[in-house]
């Protein structure tokens, strides 16, 4: 089965992926920040019991584990691939994970909330991501007693998540808008509509390779449908602006852009050592060139898969061992050389 | 010592660079080091979580103390009867202690939630088979009682046509009831 980042998808020149996260808590336990270790272990055990019903009813293979059983490399590779949050990977208490074989669905246990259901699909398709997460939520509710209040909706640890408990986000690639230094303005603009733009790994993280996350800020007062519709309207506008800007850049600077894209290819193809930030910047230029048709390859080329593959954790995961930064830079260069398609 | 590059933050590490045999030493802060070198700060992702929590709690406090600051500590603190989290603690941490906190802090909460979320009423998904307290009360109502409630709502919303229709319907049903008796 193909993973989401291996599929070709709609509007993928700008929208890389769509993700929905639902926060849920069990009524019979204190919230995670007040949970004692024994209860945490019990909670993880209880939530993990839904794994078999998920496999049965959601037509997929699911695996479950305690995060503490994973190696540091596994954990950081999973954070980089957006399967688990940094918080879950770092937490000292017992935490757990249920993951579908195709990595589309993950259920984090004892994160900030007891249960966080997440669904990721490639391209612009929040509807499908929500559908998946919603179904998992229904199946889970058959076994787990989620705290729900008539007035406040799903009760969450932090008041900023209460109600739907839903955070819906698009991961977008905005090289032209960021080159034009328009991101800050965009952030202010979309803020008026209850939407935020952040770096690639969420809250407070910086953007790598012109990739940003656009997500809803408020979770209470609007239905899931309304939240998604609102986000869709905004992202459609962002796509338009980005494409317009790309066209403009190409019309005034096509020679420079072509040169830049080919140079990036040259470095990626022949470098013997490369740091991950560098690799991200160059790959981002390559994606931009490929999307605009400035550069053509002999085969379908998924830049995003490569972007995840060059992250320190994923790289060491592929290598199967922990290595120092110089060796990492060498193996990163080797990995890129191997994966890079030929220009036609 | 200040960072050699930005001259603003404290230098945290010494970076030695040897290019073509020329050695250059720089004292750098973590931010500049992350930018300029391949140095990666330990766990850079988590730092932000803390600051966000702090920020949130100041926001929460700002929303709730607005206009209520009168005679200082005359107001007794509310305590959740299930997990004994106090309302004060909630404001400071920006986190509830358990699901029951929502009930315990009920009186103060609407204002807080409106401030943070712009609303205090959920309109989205309900879990399958969820029966609320209102549903439970309504279950014991007779059809006439239920319609009367709707009538009241229609009048409040100034939907007079609907109100008239409901009034007639109720009249009809009452008549039938007395006839049957």
For chain B, strand residue ranges (E) read 13-19, 22-28
CB neighbours of A40 closer than 8 A, spacing ≥ 6? A32, A93, A94, A95, A110
State mean pLDDT over B62-84. 64
Q: What is the pLDDT of residue B46?
A: 43
Give the chain B residue nearest A328 (alpha carbons): B38
Q: What is the DSSP letter of B27?
A: E
Closest chain B residue by Cα to residue A153:
B122
Closest residue in chain B to residue A162, using alpha carbons only: B122
A306-325 pLDDT tens trace: 998 998 888 888 888 888 88
User: Tokens at residue B58, please?
Assistant: 């100041």
Which position has the higher pLDDT, B1 or A76?
Answer: A76
Any CB–CB contact under 8 A between B41 and chain A? Answer: no
Task: List chain A domain ranges.
Answer: 254-339
pTM: 0.78
Contact check, Cβ <8 Å, B45/A154: no
Whether the CB of B50 is below 8 Å from some CB of chain A: the reply is no
CA dihedral B71, B76, B78, B83 (to 10 degrees): 140
Residue-wise pLDDT for A104-136, tens only, equals 999 999 999 999 999 999 999 999 999 999 999
Please report which confidence band the pLDDT of residue B72 belongs to, taking 50, 70 and 90 as the band edges. Answer: very low
Is pLDDT larger for residue A317 or for residue A40?
A40
pLDDT at B146: 83
Distance (Å) from the C-alpha of residue A225 to the closest C-alpha of chain B?
8
Among the partner-chain residues B56, B120, B127, the one whose CB lies closest to the CB of A160 is B56
Q: Is B136 on the interface with A (CB under 8 A)?
A: no
Banded pLDDT at A149 (limits 50, 70, 90): very high
Strands A195-198 and A15-24 turn out to be unpaired
B99 touches chain A (CB under 8 A): yes
Helices (H), B14-119: 30-36, 47-65, 87-93, 101-104, 106-117
A177 CB neighbour count, 10 Å cutoff: 22
Question: B128 vs A138: CB contact, 8 Å cut-off?
Answer: yes
Nearest to A212 by CA among A195, A193, A233: A195
Instruction: Please compute the mean of the pLDDT values over residues A194-206 and round it to a whole number.
Output: 73
Higher pLDDT: A340 or B180? It is: A340
**DSSP-derived pairing of the beta strands A211-216 and A195-198:** antiparallel
Chain B residues with CB under 8 Å of A227 CB are: 124
- Which conformational region is residue A209 in: left (phi greater than 0), alpha (psi within -120 to 50 degrees), or beta? left
Q: For A70-81, what is the mean pLDDT?
A: 89
Whether residue A102 has pLDDT greater than 70: yes
Alpha carbon distance A49, A182 (integer Å): 47
Q: Give the least confident one: A136-150, A166-180, B62-76.
A: B62-76
Considering only CB atoms, A221 lies closest to which of B109, B112, B121, namely B121
Whether A151 has a pLDDT exceeding 50, the answer reads: yes
Q: pLDDT grade, residue B40 (50/70/90)? A: low
**Residue A218 clears pLDDT 60, i.e. is over it:** yes
Q: Which residues of B touch A166 (CB under 8 A)?
A: 124
Is ipTM over 0.90? Answer: no
């Amino acid at each position: 089965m193909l993973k989401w980042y291996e599929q070709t998808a709609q509007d993928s020149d700008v929208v890389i992926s769509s993700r929905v996260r639902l926060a849920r808590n069990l009524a019979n336990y204190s919230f995670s920040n007040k949970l004692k270790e024994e209860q945490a272990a019990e909670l993880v055990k209880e939530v993990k019991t839904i794994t078999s019903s998920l496999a049965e009813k959601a037509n997929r293979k699911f695996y479950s584990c305690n995060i503490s059983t994973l190696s540091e490399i596994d954990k950081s590779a999973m954070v980089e691939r957006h399967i688990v949050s940094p918080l879950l990977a770092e937490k000292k208490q017992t935490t757990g994970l249920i993951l579908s074989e195709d990595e589309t669905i993950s259920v984090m246990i004892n994160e900030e909330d007891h249960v966080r259901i997440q669904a990721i699909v490639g391209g612009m398709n929040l509807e499908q991501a929500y559908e998946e997460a919603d179904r998992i939520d229904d199946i889970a509710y058959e076994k787990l007693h989620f705290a729900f209040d008539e007035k406040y909706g799903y009760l969450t640890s932090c008041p900023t998540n209460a109600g739907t408990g839903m955070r819906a986000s698009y991961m977008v690639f905005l090289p032209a808008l960021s080159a034009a230094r328009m991101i800050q303005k965009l952030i202010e603009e979309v803020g008026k509509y209850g939407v935020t733009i952040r770096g690639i790994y969420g809250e407070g993280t910086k953007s790598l390779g012109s990739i940003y996350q656009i997500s809803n800020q408020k979770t209470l007062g609007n239905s899931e449908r309304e939240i998604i519709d609102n986000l869709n309207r905004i992202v459609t506008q962002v796509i338009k602006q980005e494409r317009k800007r790309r066209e403009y850049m190409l019309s005034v600077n096509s020679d420079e852009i072509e040169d830049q894209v080919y140079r990036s290819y040259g470095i990626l193809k022949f470098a013997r050592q490369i740091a991950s930030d560098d690799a991200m910047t160059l790959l981002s230029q390559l994606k931009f060139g490929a999307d605009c048709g400035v550069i053509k390859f002999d085969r379908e080329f998924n830049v995003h898969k490569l972007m995840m593959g060059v992250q320190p954790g994923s790289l060491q995961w592929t290598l199967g061992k922990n290595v120092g930064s110089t060796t990492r830079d060498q193996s990163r260069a080797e990995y890129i050389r191997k994966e890079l398609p030929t220009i036609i | 010592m200040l960072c050699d590059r930005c001259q603003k933050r404290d230098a945290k590490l010494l970076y030695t660079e040897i290019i073509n045999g020329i050695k250059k030493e720089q004292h750098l802060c973590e931010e500049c080091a992350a930018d300029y070198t391949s140095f990666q700060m330990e766990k850079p992702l988590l730092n932000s979580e803390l600051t966000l929590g702090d920020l949130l709690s100041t926001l929460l406090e700002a929303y709730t103390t607005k206009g209520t600051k009168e005679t200082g500590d005359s107001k007794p603190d509310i305590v959740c009867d299930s997990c004994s989290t106090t309302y004060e603690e909630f404001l400071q941490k920006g986190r509830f202690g358990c699901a029951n906190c929502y009930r315990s802090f009920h009186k103060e909460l609407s204002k807080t939630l409106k401030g943070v979320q712009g609303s205090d009423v959920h309109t989205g998904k309900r879990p399958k088979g969820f029966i609320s307290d209102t549903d439970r009360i309504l279950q014991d109502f007779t059809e006439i009682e239920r319609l009367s409630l709707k009538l009241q709502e229609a009048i409040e919303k100034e939907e007079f046509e609907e109100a008239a229709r409901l009034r007639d319907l109720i009249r009809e049903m009452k008549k039938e009831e007395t006839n049957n008796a």
